[in-house]
Chain A
């Protein structure tokens, strides 16, 4: 916890979102400090994905402020937020199924490279793009699957690719929505190691049900229940918080 500068990279104030009668986000305040891995936990249906979607501009909040590095981004469309340094992975993978692994990553590199109004040169023979993409693919452990179509990947590989694509965008703040969901024991462990290696280099907001992973990785943890943040603190503080234990962790369930 030491060494965190006082200005948060992400600062959320009074965020609210209703779906008809359902209050999915209920006055959320949240700060993510530069360099920290901030975990967001909470039971099914607590509103974690809905919160991420608002931060990323896929859902428009009913009220509240979202500031990235001091700048209000709550009114911006998703691509504009990406240009300002937000990235995300999806709980339910959102990849380009007809394209290869390398294509998916190269497209992210290309998007990072500026506009794509270039009509004549063969993008798949652009060694600048391909080289950078290949490095991200290798780093994610998918090197031997680079030329495989996404539709032919296993679920675990798709999860790895989700992360590789997000990292190819070089985000300042990475929103991770359950990167371990549906992974086996070994794959899960690999993902923990990958995220651990990322720690410090990229600021992360990690939504995850796997408590072992959360407690192993997080600098701080916020607990979301029925759309409200009921507690924020270090791993120890959260583990010992009686409200959290009753509302969410359940005795001995963690």
Chain B
């Protein structure tokens, strides 16, 4: 974990190499739908959309987990609440009823995404404010407990479909684009992901980011230079929850469906696996981890229904043998120390 963290956060002179790599990745992602079309495999676009969405969620979790050392096992709550924000706004939009007698519904992405950001941010403030009074295993358990409460709440909320969830018949609208088209929606997700990662890359290098990474290394040292940990950890937790909620809102649009599945603790686990698989405390590691997990799941599931039996050992191998996840593996293959 140490090596990979410094790979991103340690002092390194600016070099053209990462910029070139980023440009190459962006170019590949932009070309992907066209290549997929030409290769006669349109399903790839849908797959890549899921990778981007999970990549945003996992990278958000990683801000808390990898950079801040806050091992949250409850991020499904934010993923799900982001999704439900889209679903509930849509249901009220269709029924033309006010939400709680206050807000109108909406099917506009420019309304639903900001709404998901606000709602998941508020939820993360509450959960974070209470959970961050604890640390270590207690913190893991308390975040899990909060997420389970949200899960059971929505699983029993008949107004919003309870266990069956909500169907979003049409994806949210944006500038009159044909969001129903998978390629168009892919590009929307790509745009959101690019903006998100650009922002995240600045946050982790900022004064705030350094304080966060410092707190992970030694709270005692940080207190001794005059930094009270709590509010910085809370801010990190809230930003982390917001990013995850944003991803959830995209996922609800992508699936045109939201259900308590998105809130289930196994979703928290999946996000965590993506982070660990890709590289804890690295900027793009979680995106790699999301790609690996989503693709593996898809490939293996087509192959055998017992795909999890194969996935388990594979994950174990990556974690044990790459020392720092796929990001570290790539860095080493690329000749970096």
Contacts and interface: CB of A to CB of B under 8 A. Distances in A.
A78 B224 contact: yes
A118 B206 contact: yes
Nearest to B281: A98
Given A99-B214, A110-B210, A149-B6, A79 B203 contact: no
Contacts of B203: 119-120
A107 B202 contact: no
Contacts of B218: 94-97
A165 interface: yes
Given A94-B218, A103-B11, A119 B225 contact: no
A16 B130 CA distance: 33
B217 A99 contact: yes
A205 to B, nearest CB: 15
What is the size category of the interface that chain B forms with chain A? 20 to 34
Contact of B210 (A56, A77, A79, A107): A107
B232 interface: yes
A102 B205 CA distance: 15
Given A107-B214, A117-B208, A79 B226 contact: yes
Contact of A123 (B205, B222, B225, B232): B205
B217 A97 contact: yes
A96 B205 contact: no
Interface string B1-32: 01001100111000000000000000000000
A41 interface: no
5 contacts: A98-B9, A107-B222, A107-B225, A116-B232, A169-B225
A111 B213 contact: no
A232 interface: no
A221 interface: no
A165 B225 contact: yes
A124 interface: yes
Contacts of A119: 202-203, 206-209
A124 B213 contact: no
B9 A79 contact: no
Contacts of A107: 210-211, 214, 222, 225
A112 interface: yes
